[in-house]
Structure formats: C-alpha cells, structure tokens
C-alpha cells in the first residue's frame, strides 16, 4: 500500500511514481502540479504530472485525508477505508468508472489516500448535484448498475474487491440518528425557500425508524455488490456518452433496490421522475434478465422501490445536519427530490420491512 500523506500538498514525484507503477511499470514522474484542494467528505485535488521517463497519464485525481471529524464519521459508517483498499488492489467493475491506480491506509491515523483516473482529462464531464440528470443519463446509469449487480449476484466476491460487507447500523445509532434528523429538519426549514411536503406525523422519529429498517433491507438478499452512494454528484458522463460512477467509499454488499432507488430518485427532476420512473425501473430489470439473473416481477420491484425514498431522505437530512460533508445547497436540492418521491410514492405507508 501507499504511505498516506498528511496533506495533499505533500505529494512528491517519488510518491506519485510509486502510485502509478502498477499500471505504468516504467513511469518516472519529474514534477507534480497540485490543483486547488477541495474539502468535503475528503480532501481532493486534480494533480498534473510531468514525466521524466516511461508512460503515464497527464493528470490524476487524488483523494486524501479529510478533517478529523469527517474521518471519524466515515469510520463509524464503516466507509473510511473501503475505497482505498479497492484502489490498492486495482479493482475494476463492469460499468463506467475511473480506473484505480493506487491506494493507501494509515490505520493509526484513521486516514487513507486514493489515486484514480482523471475523468475530465479522459474526456468526461462530472455532473453537478444541484442539477438533475436527464432521463437518458439515468437510463444509462441504471444499465451500468444492472451490469454491476448481475456480475456478483449471490456469488463469492473476488479478492480484488477486498472485504466488502453488508450494511450495518448498530443499536446505538438509533438515538443519535433521531437527534441528527431533528437537527436536519430544522436546518431544512430554515434554509428552504420551499417547504418539505412530508405527510402529517412524519418527523425525526418516524424517519429514523424507516432509515434503520431500510438499512436492514439494504443488507438483505439477494446480495450483490452495491456502489452504495450513487447520487448525481458521484456521477459523470464519459467521453462515450455513458453515465459513470466515482467515489466508491460506501461500496457494500446488499439488496439491488438500495442503489436503484437512491440513484433514480436522487438524480431525476421531480416531473421527469413522475413520468419515467416505472419505465426506468423496467430498464434495470431488463438488464438483469438479459444475463440470466432471476429477476423480480415489475410489480414486486415497484413495491420495493416505493420504500427506498426513506433511506435517501434520511441520509441527506443527516448530511445537512452534519454540515461539512456537502454544501447546503447540494443537500437541499437532493432533499427536495427525495421528499417529493416520499410523498408521491406513499413511502410513509409502504411496507419497508420486507425486501
């Protein structure tokens, strides 16, 4: 594994050469240019490279340690080390995603680093989470998720994927979750020009209960490899026009509906979702069926899909409550999409206890 720098400004030509040598054995980096460092869940920057020898990319994307508070939150979620382990092992998934070059973990400091392909230099364009995706972009993404899920559907996980586990929320999470959701709802009320239209009686306690039940479903079978966090800010359009997924730190084993509901509801504008969600769900199911995966009926899948907005809504209220993972306007745009689906789909009345 790579040693984990304390700051991205510490990246050196020697370090970057080591990071690239598995994929580019003869590479020698002469100089690095570190772009503006963005701070969110992690610190991250685009790094340009000048080479003294061998072949290598003109630039890479590097994620490094975030603030101590953010690292602690990721550790509690079991998400701190996942992507770094995947990057260290050169994991590759059967859908559009940035190539992993290298990764490192420092367990004593609870810190990690990930070096991956710069999708912008490869002709891609990251999506802005404030702006909903088009129907065709979501369709492309669902086709990719179907390929990902089908590849590992109820199968043993290869060593290159490390030790992916199912979702787990311990019993101590309950009280913490309710308090965080209450704070998130207050912040949403203060920040939102448009109120959240939640059904009467749905507050922090009810959402916390549904959040934990949804997490239990996400850990149930049939199990597949999940991206785990496929909101639009973790997606891009590739040079070939396909929807790709980056940021794999919440990758998990679990139920297909977690990725599908989270991506579809979180990515589409409200009117596009209302018009196209059923046909897009069929697109996903058709992708499974084409490769021989035993596929639920559309009605059964729809019943499960109706329950998924609870997890997304609660997740983004938690994110807003925490305050440092995502900008407030990104949180509010995403919360409104999930809140609208929660109301439209009758999620408060749906049976979210059954997969």
**E strand or H helix that includes residue 245:** strand 243-245
Helix axes 298-307, 256-267, angle to 10 degrees: 70
Q: How far apart are the C-alpha atoms of 143 and 154, rounded to whole Å?
A: 19
- 133 DSSP 8-state letter: B
> Nearest to residue 108, comparing CAs of 216, 188, 6, 178?
6
What is the pLDDT, as a whole number, of residue 353? 41
**Percent of the chain having pLDDT more than 70?**
94
Range 201-230 average pLDDT: 90
In the structure, what pLDDT confidence band is assigned to residue 351 with cuts at 50, 70 and 90?
low
Structure tokens at 90: 């050169």
> Nearest to residue 168, comparing CAs of 129, 204, 215?
215
Residue 216 has pLDDT above 90, yes or no: no
Range 119-126 average pLDDT: 95
Q: How far apart are the C-alpha atoms of 83 and 343, rounded to whole Å?
A: 34
What is the pLDDT, as a whole number, of residue 170? 63
Residue 97 has pLDDT above 60, yes or no: yes
pLDDT in tens, 8-55: 989 999 999 999 999 999 999 999 999 998 887 778 999 999 999 999
- 291-319 in b/e form (b: 16+ CB < 10 A) is eebebbeeeebbebbbbbbbbbbbbbbbb
Residue 308 has pLDDT above 70, yes or no: yes
Query: What pTM, to 2 d.p., does this model score?
Result: 0.94
**E strand or H helix that includes residue 136:** helix 135-151
- 161 DSSP 8-state letter: G
**Of residues 355 and 185, which shows the higher confidence score?**
185
Residue 355 has pLDDT above 70, yes or no: no
Structure tokens at 161: 């994927």
The answer for 90, left when phi > 0, alpha when psi is -120 to 50, beta otherwise, is left
In the structure, what pLDDT confidence band is assigned to residue 194 with cuts at 50, 70 and 90?
confident
Which domains are present in the chain? 8-117 (no CATH), 125-349 (1.10.510.10)
Write the burial class of residue 185 (CB in 10 Å: 0-12 exposed, 13-18 middle, 19+ buried).
buried
What is the pLDDT, as a whole number, of residue 80? 75
> Nearest to residue 22, comparing CAs of 52, 56, 69?
56
Structure tokens at 18: 């080591």
The residues, ordered by sequence, that sit 6+ positions from 307 with a Cβ below 8 Å of its Cβ are 210, 214, 217, 257, 261, 347, 350, 351, 352
Range 58-80 average pLDDT: 78
| Coil, strand or helix at 238 | coil
Structure tokens at 93: 């998934």
Range 207-227 average pLDDT: 89
The answer for 162, left when phi > 0, alpha when psi is -120 to 50, beta otherwise, is left
Range 115-143 average pLDDT: 96
Q: Which long-range contacts (CB under 8 A, 24 or more apart) does 170-179 make?
A: 173/212, 174/208, 174/212, 177/208, 177/211, 177/212, 177/314, 177/318, 178/204, 178/205, 178/208, 179/204
> Nearest to residue 46, comparing CAs of 102, 101, 105, 120?
120
Residue 109 has pLDDT above 90, yes or no: no
Residue 311 has pLDDT above 70, yes or no: yes
Mean pLDDT across the chain, nearest whole number? 91
Q: Residue holding tokens 């996942």? A: 82
Residue 203 has pLDDT above 50, yes or no: yes
| Coil, strand or helix at 350 | coil
Residue 354 has pLDDT above 70, yes or no: no
């Amino acid at each position: 594994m790579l040693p984990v720098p304390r700051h991205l400004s510490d990246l050196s030509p020697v370090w970057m050469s080591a990071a690239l040598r598995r994929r580019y054995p003869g590479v020698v980096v002469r100089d690095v240019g570190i772009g503006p460092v963005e701070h969110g869940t992690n610190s991250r920057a685009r790094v340009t490279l000048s080479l003294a020898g061998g072949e290598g990319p003109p630039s890479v994307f590097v994620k490094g340690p975030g603030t101590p508070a953010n690292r602690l939150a990721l550790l509690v979620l079991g998400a701190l080390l996942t992507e770094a382990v995947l990057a260290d092992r050169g994991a590759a998934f059967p859908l559009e995603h940035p190539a992993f070059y290298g990764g490192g973990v420092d367990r004593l400091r609870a810190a990690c680093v990930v070096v991956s392909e710069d999708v912008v230099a490869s002709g891609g364009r990251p999506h802005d989470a404030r702006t909903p995706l088009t129907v065709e972009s979501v369709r492309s993404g669902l086709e990719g998720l179907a390929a990902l899920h089908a590849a590992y559907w109820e199968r043993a996980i290869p060593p290159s994927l490390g030790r992916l586990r199912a979702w787990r929320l311990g019993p101590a999470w309950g009280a913490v979750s309710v308090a965080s959701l209450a704070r998130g709802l207050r912040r949403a009320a203060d920040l939102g020009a448009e109120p959240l239209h939640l059904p009467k009686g749905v507050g922090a306690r009810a959402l916390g209960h549904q959040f934990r039940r949804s997490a239990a479903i996400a850990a149930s079978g049939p199990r597949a490899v999940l991206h785990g966090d496929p909101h639009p800010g973790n997606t891009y359009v590739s040079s070939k026009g396909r929807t790709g997924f980056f940021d794999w730190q919440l990758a998990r084993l679990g139920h297909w509906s977690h990725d599908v509901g989270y991506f579809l509801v979180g990515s589409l504008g409200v009117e596009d979702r209302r018009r196209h969600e059923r046909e897009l769900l069929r697109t996903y199911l058709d992708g499974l069926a084409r490769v021989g995966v035993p596929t639920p009926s559309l009605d059964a899948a729809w019943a499960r899909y109706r329950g998924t907005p609870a997890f997304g809504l609660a997740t983004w209220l938690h994110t807003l409550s925490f305050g440092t993972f995502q900008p407030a306007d990104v949180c509010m745009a995403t919360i409104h999409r999930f809140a609208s689906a929660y109301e439209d789909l009758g999620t408060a009345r749906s049976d979210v206890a059954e997969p």
